[in-house]
Amino acid sequence: MKLFVRTLILIVFIQASFFVASATAGSTAGEETTIEVFYKNQPPSMETLSQVESFLSSYQGDFDIRYLDMEEPDNAAYMQSLGFPIEHFPFGIAINGKTSARVGGETIVFGNFPGFMHHIGRHQGNWTLDHLEAVMMDPEKLLPDNPVIENNPGGEQDQQQQERQGQGQRQGRGQRQ
């Protein structure tokens, strides 16, 4: 009888172990994904932040979302390590420490203003909220190396950088208002 009870306890223990292992192995990509949003306390950046916050609010429990004021010294140093400039730069997003991705055959850089902000006419990025969502749902789209963004006063970008980023921007495509 003792052997039967011990065997039964062992079987229950093994089944419980498999149950716990399978419950923790089924974690979603969002549980491991960190999204860092860099902004300035300036009107165009705050307008962008408002729309990005609204978009990300439905994902708050699924992702580790952090909002970082880029004018704080610690955040500025971190931004530079990601390839973002600390001057003449309005907005940026890093996902798991990466700032670019391949989405729909295009290289997308999550720096400068997204498509819905192109009405201001400067610091135009090539990303949209649809691009952001695509990478959030599939972090494998992230590229291994962060590009170095170089903005100039007044929002003018280096010509080569515009050509690299311009490949991904199609006005009206995949942009949420």
pLDDT tens-digit series, residues 95-145: 999 999 999 999 999 999 999 887 777 788 999 999 999 999 999 999 999
Q: Which pLDDT score is estimated for 88?
A: 87
Q: Which pLDDT score is estimated for 123?
A: 85
- For the chain, give the number of residues: 177
Spatial separation of the C-alpha atoms in residues 135 and 95, rounded to whole Å: 8
The answer, yes or no, to whether residue 173 has pLDDT greater than 70, is no
pLDDT tens-digit series, residues 45-102: 999 999 999 999 999 999 999 999 999 999 999 999 999 998 889 999 999 999 999 9
Map out the domains of the chain with their CATH numbers.
30-166 (3.40.30.10)
| Weakest-pLDDT range from 39-43, 63-67, 82-86, 162-166 | 162-166
| Weakest-pLDDT range from 1-10, 31-40, 46-55, 75-84 | 1-10
Q: Which pLDDT score is estimated for 156?
A: 52
Q: Which pLDDT score is estimated for 49?
A: 97
The answer, yes or no, to whether residue 20 has pLDDT greater than 70, is no
Spatial separation of the C-alpha atoms in residues 99 and 101, rounded to whole Å: 7
Please, where are the H alpha helices in 102-176? Answer: 129-137, 159-166
Nearest Cα neighbor of 63 from 108, 94, 22, 41 is 94
